[in-house]
Structures are given as structure tokens and as C-alpha cells.
Chain A
Amino acid sequence: MVRRALNVLAMSALALGACVPELVDDTSIVTSPRLLAVRAEPAEAEPGAEVALRGLWAASDGGAAPLGWAFCTARKPFTEPGNVDPACLVEDSPDLVAIGDGETVTGTLPDDGCRLFGPDRPTPMAGEPAGRPADPDGTGGYYQPVRVRADGDPPAFALAQVRIRCGLPAATPEQAADYKARVHANSSPAITAITGDGAAVIALEADPTAVTTVARGATLALRVAWPGCGTDEQPCAGAESYVWFDPDARALVTRREAIRVTWFATAGAWASARTGRAEAEADQPSTENSWIAPGDVGEQRLWIVVRDDRGGATWATVRIAVAP
């Protein structure tokens, strides 16, 4: 009894940090068509290079993707808490450069990407010195924003970002030279295997007719794997090693990518919406999750999106037959 009273007191004391309401993250259940991921090929390119952009449009009926693509050339100010200037997300912004429509488009990266979004100092205004360069992300990368518009009423917007390869102007000449010698463009991850309850699960990207059967209400233990990568700074479709300039220590450091997997389904429930391997776990080239099939018999789809933390992405689509 005393312990229970203390427990109440303890939980009351949690008010120090207050009580957070339960707002369930149900974004892993796809109830209407939407964009789940974008993959750029190559995953990292220099400004002016041509890239192919492909969207993962999740629709239970497999309908065509009503997507419109545009590069955004607006750089976000420091007053903006998000990752892109809000001007990129309005319907007719002068900062947009159209790429094309459809599930897959090909466009040429703007030439001034490293000035707008990278480490090169922006072109100065008349009578003023050059401005402040942009900061890299945690992996040392810079990104060209891409606005993706999905038709609808109202239209929905999404943001994609293509990693652009820029120099290292703030480093010493020796560091810059060393960096140039060691750096390699990011490679998108690849999925080497998917297993369900220990058995191989065939993705639709490999076999458009493949179906995996699961009993209704059953739990399917899924595991997705990607290539194992070594610690040498070589291109790899897994948690690859790369050279990174530590802005604090001002030194070049070898790091490993983190891999993050997002799980989507048209119905049922996931044990976790996202799983993955942090950088410290990069030697483990797989992750697990569980999907609980819905109680209704029918066909469902699963999407498994694998991302590295340098802007690379890939995915697999699984057709599930929920059986009695």
C-alpha cells in the first residue's frame, strides 16, 4: 500500500516534465495514396549532373503516381525551423524549376547548388561582401531540395533532397586534398533479402506476381537485410564507410552510415513504425520487425523503405494474402 502511494507520488512528480498525451503514430498504415520515399540515381551527384528521381507512390490499387517534380532554388533562412524554405512548398513559387511529371523523372541539378545549399559562399549582393555558406548535415552532406507535388484537392506537397557533392573550402589545403582523394559518392542501399518467419519473402520489384500468405490476425516476423560493408572507405550498398570532416575537431574522420528502415502497410499493425541500425551498430546488416495481419481476409501490401543517413534510399513492395 505504501509502495503504491509512493508510486502515485512518483508519477505525480513526473509533472516536472509534464504528461504527454498519447497521439499514436499511425503514419505506417497507408489508408490513402501517398508518397512514401524518393530515390535518386545517382544518390549523390555534382551540381549540373543529371539525376533520375523515382517516387514510391503507395496506392493499394497500384494506381499511377500523379507526381509533379521541381527543383527548389530558395535557401531557407535561419528563422525557418524546417529543412527547406517554405517558399518551396507553395503552388506557384518563382523559386521552382520544373523537372517533369510522373513516378520517375530525370533532371539536371542546378549549377549553383554548392553556392545556394553548400559550403561555397553565396554570390554577394551589390556592394556587400559574400554571405554565409550553408552548414552541412551530420554526415557532411549538402542537399538540393526537390519539391514533389501530388495531385489532389488540395494538392499535397512533399520534399525530396538530392545529395550534392561539393568541396571542403573551410579545411586546410592538405585536408581538402586528402578529402578529395578519399571521398566517394554515396551509394543508395540495397535490400539483399527479406524473410518472413524465417522464410524468404519475394518482393514485387523482383517478381511482380509474388504473394506471401499470412493467416488473419497472425504475426509475421519480418527481417530485412542489406549488404555488409567493411570499414574501408569504398562504395557499398549497405552501411558504407565514408570520410567526414569533423567541424569541431577540424579533422577528417572515417565514419559508418546508419541504416533506417520504415515499414508501411495498407492494414494491420506494426510492432515498430521504424527500425534500423545506428552508426555504432553498422556491423549488423539487418533489422527485424513484426507485422500483425488484419482480421479481415484479403490482399494487403507492405512497403519496406531502407534509407541510409546520407540521402540514399531503396524499397521493396510485398503483396500479402491474408488467409482465413
Chain B
Amino acid sequence: MTAHPRVSIQRRTRPLWVAIALALASPVASRSIARAGDAAAPVLTRPPALVHFVEAEYPPDAKAAGTQASVVLQVDIAADGHVTAATVQTSGGAAFDAAAVAAVLQFGFTPAEVDGKPSPIRILYQYDFVIHTEVVAVTTAEQTGVVRDRDTHQPLAGVTLTLDDAGKSAVTGTDGRFAIAEVAPGRRTITLTGDRLTALQTTEELVAGQRLDVAYDLALAPPPGAADEDADDLEIVVTAPPLAKATASVEVVAGQARKVPGTGGDVLKVVESMPGVARSTAGSGALVVWGAAPEDTRVYVDGVRIPRLYHLGGLRSVVATDLVKGIALAPGGWGVEHGRGLGGLVDVDLIALDRAVAGSVQVDAIDTAAAVRFPVAPKVAAAVALRKSQLAWVLDHASDRDLGEFVPIPRYADGQARLAYDPSTREHVEVDALASTDRQTRTVASADPAATRREDRRIDFWRVWSRYHRDLDSGDQVDAVVSLGQDSATTTERFGATPTELATDARVYGARAAWRGKLGDAALIIGLDAEIVDAKVRRRGSITVPAREGDVRVFGQPPPDQLAADRWRVISASAAPYAQLDLPLWRKRVHVVPGLRLEPYLVSVSRKTPIAGLTPSIGLFTEEATAQPRLAIRADATARLTLTAAFGRYRQAPQVEDLSAVFGSPSLPTSRATHAVLGAAYRWTAALSSEVTGFVTRSRELAVRSPLATPLLAQALVADGTGRAMGVQALVRLAPTAGVFGWISYTLSRADRTDAAGTRRFDYDQTHVLTAVASWQVGAGVELGLRFRYATGAPRTPVTGAYYDTRADAYQPQFGAHNGSRLPAFVQVDARASKRLRWGGDELEIYLDLQNATDRENAEEIVYSADYARKGFIAGLPILPVLGARLTW
């Protein structure tokens, strides 16, 4: 139990003991007593005692001004103890004097006794008028907060919150706020009920003498008769303490993401419009955040790492849109629960399966997707989703030209299957499977045998995982996920007689477990994140192809014809225990979240040096123990202003493709990075918010090509690269209000890389990236959307000359400063229009997604004439209308 200090304004008196002192010691009192008993020399045998105190009225003006005073009164007390007169001896001011006299005249005393008999007496009494702080011990807690619509952030009125404390409850007002006072402290279960809500419960820790202010964001069931897009989102999300999002995270729920122009209705494509994300080259599907290479950013689905977010061509993501609840991007500064990456973190959250039957079919020129959710048994629900591209088929039937000669047409498919079982209200078991396949082929025939080209890319992966969740009786939570998967990627190119082949087959084993509970006032997470990758790699071709970050290259330049080959196997394992504490301070307005991830990296490479004759291969085993401390601070400075800061160290094992004794180096260590983040978020209204985040990241021990003309054996790559990125990103976001939502994000950044050749701009560096997204429900089921994007052109190394290579019969470029120039800026407007038709519980949405609505020719790459005397730009996406339909039921 704690005392609760409370500041108040009160009067304080010092009556009796002061009076006695004055009566005995004051000459005035002595004289009075003496006069009263001249003849018999009376003796005071019992002093009067104040038994009835009347508080004087504090003069209002003086109280307002904070003025204090003392008034000394001469008080005449009759033999029966009542006050007969009071006169001011020492003034505290007219108002104070009058108030004191009026109060003292109402006092009551025990009769004073002189020589053992009740007698009248005169005393001096000092009345002090003081303003003071009083410490009041409070034994109850208070909970206040706001309840909002999760999608719109609009306050929800009429939601009843009931505590398991003698049924104490409150109903939210029109502003969504509620207050429940005098709650017995301890862990309390709060039940939320209301229209379009299933009964929801959450647990809060209430502390005596403290007020807990929370925000509950709830997903509502659709109105009766309305289509149920997000019927599975019936869950509670506590967005204010005790759960705090990652310091620099941006989340978008599926319902909004689907409506963003340019995404083609693919929820996960919205990541490209988030702050901190550089614009990737059209069709690459690469994710570049905060100056990190695409392979340094990790993508998780339901806590399981997957190798890529988008299919080849970048048109679609690999996760079924209908099974996605939301997506969060943390460009940096993320917590200890994840690791093995230097860049950003993309976390795809899947919907919870309920017992409703629902489904959808979406068809457009690019692909066809279908998803269905249904109950299997009273406690078992399932979902299946499939998607298959049809762009190649459309193009084959729509064009007389063999388009495959010009561009690689992506062919892809993906599928998901989920089975959820709830053994009890506190347990959840789920088995999920996710698979994706990509094919991309291009053949360019030529009369010149050296100019024939063939490109073939295949990327397949699958994951199967099982998740277990349990809410313990104590309110703690336990989660465990085990996963198994396979990543296969093959790139085969033939440029004339020069082959390039890179094939990787990796079996991926993963296991995660976490316990979330309380440690006093703090929230504690303890977990283990383990992963084993067993990869077999085969590579043939030039050592410089495929190109890696930092390579100087020109589009279309034939690869060097020096060829090598290698096959190797890499087994890398790490099991990282981690712990994170969320320390609430200052009435939970400040959360300090320290965390530590201890991660040993064990890497076994099958061959330490290249094959040489009959010399047996000797493998290499490396072990590296790492400690990755991370700290996040979140402070609710005011009800509207939140300040955040984060710092963290990150490690990443070398890419298995880099551990070749021929093409790379088997002894590459882990790369490391440091993130520092400082941000502020301000909520202007319930719907309008803004965020500003500054960041600095530094990375080192990055694998770069050896600059030596004669590198040491098995050291074609060396860990000598360092990187630096810094910048500021801003986000102004309007949650759905009156049918309108959108955001403006802007990132100002600079990313550099340093190696033996010096410091240069990072290959993906973009100084300015601006994205504005807006969607408007016009009415009658019509919705319009617009997206504007601006991005500084990516760095390129200028060609300053050329020489003729007589053996290759080709001109070879000579280069200027590495990444010393840039592509022209990218500017694009995308638009989306949709019309919804509803009947019963079904809905048909017809949409037109218009990419590059202004048909602007954006330069995606520089291309040179054969002798490098002239250059032009490869233009990206022309105006691309995609008409589609989506049926949901």
C-alpha cells in the first residue's frame, strides 16, 4: 500500500499548546492572571483545553493569491469554557483578522481552574492561515481510458467495461472515454461488451493510488446485413500500456491497405508506401529500408521467417491477402524477439480463424486468387487460399508478339492452408502451411551467337509451422512455434557462351518460444529463437555475376568471360535466448524497455579452400557468440504527445552464397549493425496523427569484394565493408474519417558505404522519398483512391569513356566516380476506383487500378549504345490499367 500525495489548500491552526505557552510565559497573560488574584495569589491549577474548533474561512482573495498569514488573538474564556471575547493582538491583515475572530468566538474550551475551581481566563491564541501539501494514503486504484474503433480510430460510445471487482463498471461516453474509480488494486479482468462486439476480455494490473490510462482499439463486427470483410478481426488490441509498439513501427490494417492505389488490392504491397522504404526498381520487388540492402531485411509471417515478401516482378506478395490482418514495418530499432538481420523488419499478422464461413475470389489481368474460411468442428476452423498468375496467358492471347523475347514475364503461384483448434478458451493451437513458386524466363534469339541470351529464374519456398498459445491462470501467456521449410532458388543465365548459374537449396528449421508475464509492475518477455539452415549451393559462372551491392556495372554489359564453378554446403545454426523488460515509470507514462539477445552463431562450411586435384576437402567450422543489447523508451509526454527512442545492436550471419571458397570466403564473420532512433508522435485529433523519427544506423564487417588484384585463396570476399545511414522520416496519417483515410510519408536520408576504395553512396540511396496516399468513399459503394510518389533517382556510376575489346568484339565501358551520378527522379501517380455491390451478406467489388495514371516515362535504368557514345533511359511502367473483380461472401 502506498500513500498518495495530494496537493490541497487548507488552513492549519496551532491553538491549545500555543495558548498555554502564551498564558504561562507571556507578560500580558501573567499580568492578567496576577490582576485577577491580587489578594489571594491565585494559582492556575488547570489550563483550558480547546474542545470545539471552528475552522476560519480562508479569505478567498488571499487563497487565490496564495497568501498566508498568522493572527494573534487575545481570547477571554468564561468559567464555563465559552469564549466571551476575542481581540486582535497581532494582525495578519484585515481579512485574516476578521476571519480569525469570527472563528475563535465559536470555540469551546474546558473550564480553566484556578486554585482548583473553574474560573474565567484570558489567553493568547495564534491562528495560522497556511497553504500546505498534505499526504493522503490512498488504498484504491483508478482506471481511465478510451475505447476506439480499431480501423477508424473513432471513439466508441456505449461500450460497457466491467471489472471483476464487485462488478464495478463504466460505459464509454460519446468521446469514447471511461473512468472507473476506487477499484481494489491487483490484476483485474476487464470485460468489454457492446453493440457489434463479442464479449472481450483483457487483464490489467491496477496499483493502489495509481491511475491506469489505457486505450482499447476494437475491431467491430460489420453492421447487420453488411459485408463482413474483416469478420475475423474480432479481437482486442491494447495499444497503450502495457503493450507498446516498436519504436519506429508503422502498421496498416488489411482493410486500408487493400484500398491503396497501385497495390492492385494486395494488402502487403502497401509496404512500398510506408515511410523509411526506398523505392525499388520496377519489377524488382526488393525492400530497401533505412539504407539496408534488401537481403538484410527480414520478413515474418505469423512469427515465421520467409525468404521474400513479393513474387518475382514485384506485382504481388506471397501471402494471401484475405488471410492478412495487418502488416507492420519496423525499419530499425526493433526489439530482441527478432534477429539475424541488419535492416528492417516486416511482420505480417494473420487473421484469427473463427467459426464463420467466408470466402472470396479475386480476378484481374494479373492473377486469380481465392480464399475460403470455414468451421471443421465445434472448436476447429480452417482456411485455404490459392493464387495463380495468368499474366503470361493474357499476354500470349492479347499480343501477336512473343513478349518473352523482350521481358521476363513472371509466372507465380502461392497457397496457404490453416487449421486452428481451440482446446479451451485459454488455449489455441494452429497448424499453417505456406508455399510459393515463381518462374521467370526470357529468351533473346540473335544471329550473333554471342548475343543470344537466356534467363531463367526459379524461386520456390514453403513453410509448415505449428503454433501453440496459452493464457495461464496467472494472466501470463506462453507462445511456441516450430517450423520447417525449404528455400530453393535457381538463377540460370547464358549470355552468348558465358553461363551463369546459381542454385541454392536450403532446408530451414525454426523454433520460437516465449513467455510473457509480469514482474512487479513490469512486463517481462523471456524467449528463445532458434533457427537452423542447411543449405546446398551450386554456382557456375563469372565471379562478378550476379552483381552484388557495390559492384560497378552497366545495364546490358556482357559479363566477364572468366568462369569458375563450385559446390558447397553450409549449415548455420543459432539459438538465441532473449529477455525484454517493459518497465513502466511515472504512472506508466514512461516505458523503458531494455532487452538482451544472446545469440551464438555456428557456421559449418563444407570446403575451406577450392578443390585442387585429389586433395581432400577440409571443412571450416566457425563459432561466434554475440550479445545484442537493445533499449527502447516510450514516453507519453502528454495525452497527445509521445516521445520514443531506441538503440540496438544487430547481427547477421553471412549469406550462404557468400561462403564459397571460390566465389566468396568461407570464413566470413557475422555482419553487425547499430541502430539509434529518436522520434515523436503527436495525435492532433482522434483520427489525425503525425510522427517524426530520426535515425542513424551503422553497419560493419559487411562482405565486399576483395580489392586486391591477387586476393588470397578463398578470400574473394572480405568483411571490410562498413555502412552508414542517417535521416529523418515523417508520417502524417488520417485514420478513416467520414469515409476518407490516407497518409503522407516523407523520408530524407543519406546512406553511404565504405570499403577499401573509399566512401561512396549506397547503391539504393535515395535522398528524398515522398508518398501520399488518399482514399475516399464517395458513396453508393464507390471508392476512389490516389497515390503520389516521388523518389530521388538511385545512384549510378557514370560511363566516361570506352575501349574496344578486340577478342570479345565489344566495347567496354570506362567509369567515373563510383555512384557519382543518379538516375532522374521518379514521379508517379496511381489511381484506383472501385464499386461495391452488396446483396445479403455477399459483396462484389469491381475495381480499376491505374498505375502511372499520367503515363510519365520514369527512368529506371541507363542504357548505352554499343560503343557507349550515346545513352538513353529505360523507361518504367507506362500507364497500366488493371481491371479486376473481387467477390466476397
For chain A, residues 122 to 152, give those with C-beta under 8 angstroms from any C-beta of chain B. 122, 128-132, 134-139, 143, 148
A19 an interface residue at 8 Å Cβ cutoff? yes
For window 70-124 of chain A, which residues contact chain B by CB distance below 8 Å?
74-86, 89, 121-122
Shortest Cβ distance from A121 into B: residue = B713
Bound form: Cα–Cα A77–B710 in Å: 7
Q: Check if A9 sits within 8 Å of B398, measured CB to CB.
A: yes
Task: Let me know if B497 and A159 touch, CB within 8 A.
Answer: no
Is A13 a contact of B365 with CB atoms below 8 Å?
yes
User: B560 in the interface, Cβ–Cβ < 8 Å?
Assistant: yes
Is there an interface contact between B283 and A16, defined as CB atoms closer than 8 Å? yes
The answer to whether B237 has its CB under 8 Å from any CB of chain A is no
* Residue numbers in A under 8 Å from B282 (CB-CB): 15-16, 18
Shortest Cβ distance from A314 into chain B, in angstroms?
Answer: 13
- Please, what's the 1-or-0 string for B681-723, where 1 marks a CB less than 8 Å from any CB in chain A? 0000000000000000000000001111111111110000000
Is A46 located at the chain interface by the 8 A CB criterion? no
| Distance between A322 CB and nearest chain B CB, rounded to angstroms | 24
A324 within 8 A of B: no
| Contacts of B538-571 to chain A: CB distance below 8 A | 538, 540, 542-544, 550-554, 557, 560-565, 567
Cβ of B550: which chain A residues have Cβ within 8 Å of it?
79
**In the assembled complex, which residues on chain B have CB atoms less than 8 Å from the CB atom of A185?**
none
Q: How far is the CA of A313 from the CA of B499 in the complex (A)?
A: 23
- Asked if residues A132 and B806 are in contact (CB atoms below 8 Å), the reply is no
Q: Is A17 on the interface with B (CB-CB < 8 A)?
A: yes
For B452, give the chain A residue with the smallest CB separation: A278
Within 8 A of B (CB), among A258-295: 258-260, 262, 272-279, 281, 287, 289
- CB pair A77 B707 closer than 8 Å: yes
A189 to chain B: closest CB distance in Å?
13
Chain B residues positioned under 8 Å from A279 (CB to CB): 449, 497
Question: Are A15 and B864 in contact (CB-based, < 8 A)?
Answer: no
Expressed in whole angstroms, the minimum distance between the Cβ of A51 and any Cβ of chain B is 14
Contacts of B876 in A (CB 8 A): 15, 18-19
**0/1 string, A249-263, CB within 8 A of B gives 1:** 010000000111010
CB atoms of A309 and B398 under 8 A apart: no
Q: Which of A34-42, A193-201, A211-219, A222-230 contacts B (4 or more CB under 8 A)?
A: A34-42
Chain A contacts for B40, CB-based, 8 A:
none
Chain B residues with CB under 8 Å of A305's CB are: 809
Residues of B with C-beta under 8 A to A122? 710
B399 touches A79 (CB 8 A): no
The answer on a CB contact under 8 Å between B498 and A10 is no
Contacts of A298 in B (CB 8 A): none
Considering only residues 435-484 of chain B, those with a C-beta below 8 Å from chain A are 442, 447-452
Interface class of chain B by DSSP = loop
A79 to B611, CA, bound (A): 23
Cβ 8 A contact of B612, one of A21, A82, A169: A169
Given contacts A131-B712, A258-B497, A274-B448, contact A35 B804 (CB under 8 A): yes
Least Cβ–Cβ distance between A103 and chain B, in angstroms: 14
B860 contacts A by Cβ under 8 Å: yes
Q: Is B406 within 8 A of A14, CB to CB?
A: yes
* 8 Å CB contact of A10 from B394, B711, B716: B394
Determine if B867 is an interface residue (Cβ-Cβ < 8 Å): yes
- Please provide the chain B residues from 260 to 292 with a CB less than 8 Å away from any CB of chain A in the complex: 282-283
* Residue among B451, B563, B709 making CB contact with A75, cutoff 8 Å: B709
Cα distance A11–B403 in the bound complex, in angstroms: 8
Contacts of A248 in B (CB 8 A): 538, 540, 565, 567
A273–B450 Cα distance when bound, in Å, is: 12
Size of chain B's interface in residues, with CB distance under 8 A? Answer: 96
* CB–CB B283/A6 < 8 A: no
Contact assessment for B562 and A158 in the assembled complex, using a CB-CB cutoff below 8 Å: no
Task: Say yes or no: A18-B283 contact (C-beta < 8 A), given A122-B710, A131-B710, A169-B612.
Answer: yes
Q: Are A158 and B451 also in contact (CB < 8 A) when A10-B394, A27-B867 are?
A: no
A320 vs chain B, min Cβ distance (A): 22
Which residue on chain B has the smallest CB distance to residue A274?
A: B448
Asked if A207 is an interface residue, CB under 8 A from chain B, the answer is no
> Could you tell me the distance between the alpha carbons of A148 and B451 in the complex, rounded to whole angstroms?
25
* Alpha-carbon distance A296/B540, docked complex (angstroms): 51
Q: Check A138 against B806 for contact (C-beta < 8 Å).
A: no
The reply to whether B808 and A17 contact each other, CB–CB distance below 8 Å, is no
Q: CA–CA, A259 to B711, complex, Å?
A: 34
Nearest Cβ in chain A — how far from B797, in angstroms?
Answer: 10
A170: B residues at CB distance < 8 A: 610-613
Which of A21, A128, A136, A277 contacts B562 (CB under 8 A)?
Answer: A136
Q: Shortest CB–CB separation between residue B863 and chain A, in angstroms?
A: 6
Q: How far is the CB of A150 from chain B (nearest CB, A)?
A: 9
B268 → A minimal CB distance (Å): 18
When distances are taken between beta carbons in the complex, the residues of chain A under 8 Å from B22 are none
Bound together, the chains give a CA A4 to CA B557 distance in angstroms of 35
Given contacts A15-B877, A27-B811, A79-B757, contact A173 B614 (CB under 8 A): yes
Q: Which residues of A contact B613 (CB under 8 A)?
A: 169-173, 176
What B residues does A34 contact at CB under 8 A? 804
Set of chain B residues within 8 Å of A135, measured between Cβ atoms: 542-543, 562-564
**B410 interface hit (Cβ, 8 Å):** yes
Name the 10 nearest CB pairs between A and B, nearest first. A17-B407, A6-B398, A21-B872, A131-B710, A274-B448, A248-B565, A15-B877, A278-B449, A10-B398, A247-B565
23 inter-chain pairs at a CB distance below 8 angstroms, sorted by A residue, are A6-B398, A10-B395, A13-B395, A13-B880, A15-B878, A16-B407, A78-B705, A81-B560, A84-B805, A132-B715, A134-B562, A148-B806, A158-B804, A159-B805, A159-B807, A160-B807, A176-B613, A247-B565, A260-B450, A260-B809, A272-B448, A274-B450, A287-B447
Interface positions of B (Cβ within 8 A of A): 282-283, 313, 315, 365, 391, 394-395, 397-400, 403, 406-410, 442, 447-452, 497-499, 538, 540, 542-544, 550-554, 557, 560-565, 567, 610-614, 705-716, 757, 803-809, 811-814, 852, 857, 860-861, 863-867, 870-881
